Structure 1
Amino acid sequence: MTTTTSTPTAYAVTTPRVLHAEWHKLRTLRSTWWTLGLATALVVAVGVLMGSTYDGDDANIDTVVFTLFGTQLSQICVAVLGILLTASEYSTGLVRATMAAVPRRLPVLWSKAGVFTATAFTVTFLTNIVTFLLAQIWLSDTDKALSLTDSGVLGALAGNAAGITLLSLIALGLGALCRSVPAAIGAFVGVVMILPEVLQMISYDVVQSAVRYFPSKSAESLGSINPVAGHNAPGTGLISLLLWTAAVLTAAALLLKRRDV
């Protein structure tokens, strides 16, 4: 008599289950709603302020850039959320349970990146659309009057959201690399945000050309209807930003495999 033993699958580790677990973590954290709520409020508030006080003095600024000026502040909030999604597990000790449940480790990082990308882009893009429409209430009779159907508008709004999302994915990778929330925030603000501004003050052509490919400068080239002076074309900026993001996440993945929890 032959006994057939079937492999239990009730608790098998699968990609959908890891994604579901990371989505559950993201949506149940109060920090998720606080950071996304603050990011949204900043963009909307600054957009309404810019639109309601416009007097024609900034006519040379791209309309979408003018309307979404608040994203310069909100991108820090979204980046902090990306860092919290990875680095906070080390400070709380949750990472031990996570890696015990998913011994291969890498699916955890890719799932975190996946659910974060979908959430950050969706929220940022919808916020951009709402802010643009609200600002147009006051700008409709000015030289900055535009609608969503005008050429390049939706592309610029989506480009801005993509830039913020990719910068925040870099922050997520830095969180996994540093395994410390303060250290990752310091690395993001200091290296990703401030360093390009410092280097830009060096008046050598080779430095000026190199700075254009830095993540923050590449992101700036994506959220404008018209080409931004001193920046690469949007396509080049997107490729550059994607490469930076891939490099940081790859480094995080390599160290995640090699280091002890």
Structure 2
Amino acid sequence: MTTTTAITPSRVLRSEWHKLRTVRSTWTTLLASAALLLGVGILMGATYTPGGGDSDIDTVVLTLYGSQLGVLALAVLGILVTAGEYATGMIRATLTAVPRRLPVLWAKATVYTTTIFTTSLLTALLTFLTAQIFLSDTDQAASLTDDGVLTAIAGNAAGVTLLGLIALGLGAALRSVPGAIGAFVGGVLIVPEILGMLPYDAMDTAVRYFPTQAAGALGSATPLPGAASPGAALLALLLWAAAALAVPALLLKCRDV
């Protein structure tokens, strides 16, 4: 007599978590992102001069400036989580084990989101507190209990996580690691900057809700001039991430593999 193991969401989640934590690239990219955030934060704190060009920058933005670089590593990890399986051919075994397919995508997104948000939040807290050692006697001195600081740190973590989730969706849709990286860098990072230079007020308003600009608004303890409100920025990022996942979900239902 043979027995079959029921495919449940928890088992699919455990499978995806096992794959994520046992791949060397996961720890390499997480360490790279953390090192960039912490290193740049310490550099900004150690080299800060009161009354200089950075004196009008929000304290959280100043100390977590490295997240703009770290998000690239997290985006690459998101792409590897999905497109990497197509590159190795492992996706065939995965979809054979889970014939309904969509639970695989949702499990990958859930495991990735949980891992990245947790590590990003802890790293951001450590970076802020470390940078404040250097900033304690300056006009950029702040604590976690100051208005908006803890919310901005959490917002920074949420922003980079959702940007990475968009990259994960691109990887699942394009099924190519180089192609997804190119699409993320070009479409998510570069195109909004080009559109923002166009002399049209409507375009300037629209660009505020593009992924990178919305993520920036989430990570500031004080309102940024010309940026979306934190609530609107979070909603925009959630919609971008949902759209990025909806495309591969549709393709999984329509394609053979």
Q: TM-score, normalised by structure 2?
A: 0.97
Partner of 1:54: 48
Q: How many residues align?
A: 255
The amino acid that maps onto 1:39 is S
Partner of 2:25: 31
Q: Which one of the candidate residues 11, 15, 18 is aligned to 2:5? A: 11
Partner of 2:173: 177
Partner of 2:238: 242
Q: Which one of the candidate residues 141, 153, 157 is aligned to 1:161? A: 157
The amino acid that maps onto 2:154 is A
Partner of 2:73: 77
Aligned to 2:165, what secondary structure does the other structure show? Answer: helix
Shift of 1:42: 0.5
Provide the rounded CA distance (Å) in 2 between the counterparts of 1:213 and 1:49.
Answer: 30
Provide the rounded CA distance (Å) in 1 between the counterparts of 2:146 and 2:213.
Answer: 25
Query: Structure 1: which 4+ aligned runs deviate by more than 6 Å?
Result: none
Shift of 1:104: 0.2
Q: Which runs of 5+ in 2 are unaligned?
A: none
Q: Deviations over 1:185-223 (max 9, x none)?
A: 000000001000011110111111111111111111100
Q: Which one of the candidate residues 197, 202, 205 is aligned to 2:201? A: 205
Q: Deviations over 1:12-38 (max 9, x none)?
A: 110000000000000000000000000
Partner of 2:251: 255
Provide the rounded CA distance (Å) in 2 between the counterparts of 1:201 and 1:111.
Answer: 39
Provide the rounded CA distance (Å) in 1 between the counterparts of 2:227 and 2:148.
Answer: 18
Aligned to 1:221, what secondary structure does the other structure show? Answer: helix
Partner of 1:192: 188
The amino acid that maps onto 2:163 is L
Partner of 1:136: 132
Shift of 1:11: 1.4
Question: Do residues 41 (structure 1) and 35 (structure 2) align?
Answer: yes
Partner of 2:122: 126
The amino acid that maps onto 1:148 is L
The amino acid that maps onto 1:233 is S
Percent identity over the alignment is 62
Q: Deviations over 1:108-159 (max 9, x none)?
A: 0000000000000000000000000100111001001111111111100000
Q: Which runs of 5+ in 1 are unaligned?
A: none
Q: Deviations over 1:58-100 (max 9, x none)?
A: 1100000000010110000001000000001001000000000
Taking only aligned residues, the RMSD between alpha carbons, in angstroms, comes to 1.1
Question: Do residues 117 (structure 1) and 113 (structure 2) align?
Answer: yes
Provide the rounded CA distance (Å) in 1 between the counterparts of 2:138 and 2:159.
Answer: 28
Shift of 1:253: 0.3
Shift of 1:251: 1.1
Provide the rounded CA distance (Å) in 1 between the counterparts of 2:148 and 2:208.
Answer: 22
Between 170-179 and 244-253, report the one with greater CA deviation. Answer: 244-253
Q: TM-score, normalised by structure 1?
A: 0.96
Shift of 1:166: 0.4
